[in-house]
Every structure is written in C-alpha cells, then in structure tokens.
Structure 1
Amino acid sequence: MSAALSTVLEMAREPGTSRFSASGVAKLLDLQQQDLADLARVHRNTLRTHPESPKLQTALRDLMRVISAATVIQPDPQRAVFLVKNEPIPAFRHRTLLQLVQDGRTEDAIGYLESVSAGFVG
C-alpha cells in the first residue's frame, strides 16, 4: 500500500474505531452530508446518529475501494479523488466512477480502473 493511500485511509477512519467516518469521507470527497447520505441510501441523520450502520459502512467501504483502485493509476490522492468524482467514462455512458458506486456498480468501477492500470485504453 502506498504512503498516499495510507494517508487517505487514515483521513477517512473514525478515530478510535475500525470503521470509516462519514464526515471524513465526505470531507475527502468534498461532498455535502446530504449527498453522501443519498449515495449511501440512508437518511442524513444516520451519518451522525448511527455511523456504525452496516448500510452506511458498506457504502463508505465501496467508495474507499474505488479510491484505492484509482490511486493505482493516479498516485496523487487529490487527483485520484478528482478522477473518481469528475471524469466521465464513455464505456459507462459517460457516467463517473462515483455515479457507478451510487448505482451499486462498485465492481464495474474497480474492474474499469484495473483494466486501465493494466494498459487497456478506451
């Protein structure tokens, strides 16, 4: 694991626990709390009152998996996050990786990033 990815993961970790912090992930991705709640398909209060929610933690884990895969092709964490949030992908009807995660297509997003890192272009 790269030092940059370790730093990103530490920023996203809930201090003193083994779970992700909703506010840390929102800050990392520069998302509003409501947008993160929508992405995770939970009520926005869940982020504050039930951060241990399995549904929320699964969504946060999926986001971090995609960011991890993005850092393989873009080692700069800020650029990797930009790639995940903003780069439209023609193979997915010009949706972003973040939109794929929101659609429940995390494995497709990771598969795409792995194919790009292996040298596939297109």
Structure 2
Amino acid sequence: MDDFWSWFWLMVWWFFFIAYLIILFQILGDLFRDKALSGWWKAVWVVALILVPYLSALIYLIARGRGMAERHAEEDRARKQIMDDYVRATAGSGKSAAGEIADAKALYDAGAIDAAEFTTLKAKALA
C-alpha cells in the first residue's frame, strides 16, 4: 500500500512540474512576442523566472495575463490572414474550364481578342 501512495504522489508532482513547464514556455513566448516591452524588462522577467520560478510565473500571469491573451489572439489573426491570402492567391479565380472558355468567347465576340488568342486561351483552359 505504501508503494501505491509513493507512486500516486510522484505522479501528482510530475503533473504539476509539467504544467509549470507549459506555463513557463507560454510566458517566455509571450515575453519575446511583446514588442512594447523593452529588452531590460524582458531580461528582468527571465532572471526572475530563473531565481524564483513559481512566484514570478504567478505574478506574471496576474500582472500581464490579459495582454498575454490579446497578443496571442492578435498573432492568431495575423496567421489566419496570411493563410487566407495565400489560399486566395494559389486558388486563382476558381472558374471551370467551361467558364474560362465562355469568358474567352465573350472577348472574341466583342472583338477584344482575335481568333489566334481565343484558340490559345481555349487550349490553356482545357489543359
């Protein structure tokens, strides 16, 4: 029975240690993501996290937690915008071959392009 409780408390301590490491990496990522915070303040926070880890992590979360969430959300929005722009650029117009041929035919009928250009556009759409 003593082995069970030793194992149980070991697992509890491991849980809290891994939770602390996750919080620590989140804090460090936020520190270096924050452009408004000067390098000296970043250094002070890093030293505090090394010397008094649990207390300084708790103080950081209380003092800068809201800004931390806002910076994270802003970075997510920026990444989403970059991805959306990339998808729009690579997806093209999204028209089918028939739609592209119809557009080319409309240009040909309007006299904007000649027969050779129409044939080239038609071959490109079918490729």
Question: Could you tell me the TM-score, scaled by structure 2's length?
Answer: 0.29
In our comparison, the structure showing a higher alpha carbon Rg is 2
Q: Which structure features the higher share of helix residues?
A: 2
Question: Could you tell me the TM-score, scaled by structure 1's length?
Answer: 0.30
